[in-house]
């Protein structure tokens, strides 16, 4: 399990300046000791938070019929007060991609495009300037990281409007040499930025508005937003932490730029993220909403072989695990100051998710411990 977590973490969006803008030095005192809660899950999470030196830790146990439990414990600031609540927000990083893919699925069901629509059909304005290698690339290729697009945009954006910035990135990306052959894996945030540009163009609405209107709000998700959590100058949400345990105040430099919204900037409460995971399990069990059954199935069908193991689907890595009785659906997300991890076992109608507000050298291994502890505790043999 750790291999796939580390593999996915390598490809996550990179912060450019936040690590140099940390607001405070770590407090020189011990983190609060673990305590007993009315919720057994909260008690387990708090012991794992303390044992693995995490500021805050949130987790949920989910089935295809319900959210069994969702809890958040710990400190908004490392070694601060144990002031995290279940309503606190956690950054999902690249776990945002699966939700972007759902929105594309909604538009496919609306008849605005298909999984096999090619880039010249969607963006005829770039058909004369895009490289020939991209003219056969499809929506499916883009969302499964098989389109050969560069990993991250490196151009200097000239526009200030977010929709126009996505147009800039799309035009630029289609003129860059492919990083790999079509159908082979290269993790591309640029591709998911381009997916948002598709939404903008085909609907004459912004990706952000449509994601809330057609996906998040219908699922009952009300706490979601983009970018860093909380209010500058106030400790009202979990602060992000650098590898040196430095707390980072929310602000423009505390996350990837907004152009990455569709690739990895969503945050929400652990309960709301569990609502989405519950929806995925319900779709796997044959009870989809929002999209047609065929569309729901495609969203978690692997397409592009990944290095080492696994096949990438629409914002998910698909692997086999004995504890899952076969198919396991997983992903992790980080902006280098948070880590969020999801593991779903559709054949067991079971899922576990966890999130923390730090990303240090040992965080991926710590979250591996958290995930396996919750699987072994809550998933009966």
Q: What is the set of domains in the chain, with CATH numbers?
A: 2-96+238-378 (3.40.710.10), 98-211 (no CATH)
- Taking only the tens place, the pLDDT of each residue in 7-36 is 454 334 333 333 333 444 444 478 999 999
Torsion of CA 178, 183, 187, 189, to 10 degrees: 70
Q: Are 339 and 305 in contact (CB under 8 A)?
A: no
Nearest to 99 by CA among 272, 253, 271: 272
What pLDDT, in 10s, does the model give residues 90-107? 999 999 999 999 999 999
Handedness of CA 95, 159, 225, 294 (dihedral sign): negative
- Give the DSSP letter of residue 234: -
Convert the pLDDT of each residue in 278-294 to its tens digit: 999 999 999 999 999 99
Instruction: Kindly report, residue by residue over 353-370, the tens digit of the pLDDT.
Output: 999 999 999 999 999 999
Distance, in Å, from the CA atom of 128 to the CA atom of 18, rounded to the nearest integer, reads 38
Query: Which stretch of DSSP H or E encloses residue 62?
Result: strand 56-63
Which burial class, exposed, middle or buried, applies to 19 when counting CB atoms under 10 A from its CB (0-12, 13-18, 19+)? middle
Mean pLDDT on 180-190:
97
Taking the CA atoms of the chain, what radius of gyration do you get in angstroms? 20
CA–CA separation, 23 and 35 (whole Å):
29
CA distance 54 to 8: 20
Query: Which residues have C-beta within 8 Å of that of residue 179, sequence separation ≥ 6?
Result: 148, 149, 150, 151, 186, 188
Kind of pairing between the strands at 225-226 and 247-248: unpaired
Predicted confidence (pLDDT) at residue 381 exceeds the cutoff of 80: no
The confidence score (pLDDT) of residue 2 equals: 39
- Supply φ then ψ for residue 85, to 5 degrees: -120, 170
Under 8 Å between Cβ of 351 and 344: yes
Residue 5 reports pLDDT greater than 60:
no
Share of the chain above pLDDT 70, in %: 92
- List, in order, residues 6 or more apart from 322 with CB less than 8 Å away: none
CA distance 310 to 4: 8
Rounded Cα distance, 2 and 371, in Å: 10
Q: Counting Cβ atoms within 10 Å, is residue 247 exposed (0-12), middle (13-18) or buried (19+)?
A: buried
pLDDT one-digit tens code per residue, 29-66: 789 999 999 999 999 999 999 999 999 999 999 999 99
Q: Does an H or E element contain 61, and which? A: strand 56-63
Determine the 3-state secondary structure of 101 from DSSP: helix
Tell me if residue 355 falls in helix, strand or coil. Answer: strand
């Amino acid at each position: 399990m750790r291999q796939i977590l580390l593999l996915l973490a390598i490809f996550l969006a990179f912060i450019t300046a936040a690590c140099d803008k940390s607001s405070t030095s770590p407090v020189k005192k011990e983190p609060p000791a673990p305590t007993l809660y009315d919720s057994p899950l909260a008690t387990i999470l708090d012991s794992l938070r303390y044992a693995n030196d995490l500021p805050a830790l949130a987790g949920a146990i989910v089935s295809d019929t319900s959210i069994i439990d969702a809890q958040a414990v710990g400190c908004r600031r490392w070694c601060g007060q144990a002031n995290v609540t279940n309503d606190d927000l956690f950054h999902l990083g690249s776990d945002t991609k699966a939700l972007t893919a759902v929105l594309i699925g909604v538009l496919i069901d609306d008849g605005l495009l298909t999984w096999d629509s090619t880039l010249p059909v969607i963006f005829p304005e770039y058909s004369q300037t895009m490289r020939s290698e991209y003219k056969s690339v499809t929506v499916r290729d883009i969302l499964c990281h098989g389109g050969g697009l560069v990993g991250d945009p490196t151009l200097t954006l000239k526009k200030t409007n977010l929709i126009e910035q996505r147009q800039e990135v799309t035009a630029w990306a289609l003129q860059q040499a492919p990083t790999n052959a079509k159908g082979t894996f290269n993790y591309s945030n640029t591709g998911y930025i381009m997916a948002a540009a598709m939404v903008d163009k085909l609907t004459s609405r912004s990706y952000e508005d449509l994601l809330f209107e057609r996906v998040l709000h219908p699922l009952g998700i009300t706490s979601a937003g983009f970018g860093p959590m909380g209010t500058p100058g106030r400790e009202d949400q979990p602060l992000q932490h650098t590898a040196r345990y430095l707390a980072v105040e929310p602000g423009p430099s505390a996350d990837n730029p907004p152009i990455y919204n569709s690739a990895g900037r969503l945050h929400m409460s652990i309960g709301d993220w569990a609502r989405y995971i519950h929806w995925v399990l319900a779709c796997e069990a044959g009870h989809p909403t929002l999209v047609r059954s065929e569309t729901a199935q495609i969203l978690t069908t692997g397409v592009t072989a990944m290095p080492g193991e696994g096949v990438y689907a629409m914002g998910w890595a698909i692997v086999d695990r004995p504890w899952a009785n076969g198919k396991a659906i997983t992903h992790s997300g980080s902006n280098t100051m948070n880590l969020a991890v999801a593991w779903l076992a559709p054949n067991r109608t079971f899922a576990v998710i966890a999130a923390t507000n730090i990303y240090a050298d040992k965080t991926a291994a710590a979250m591996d411990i958290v995930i396996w502890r919750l699987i072994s505790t809550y998933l009966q043999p």
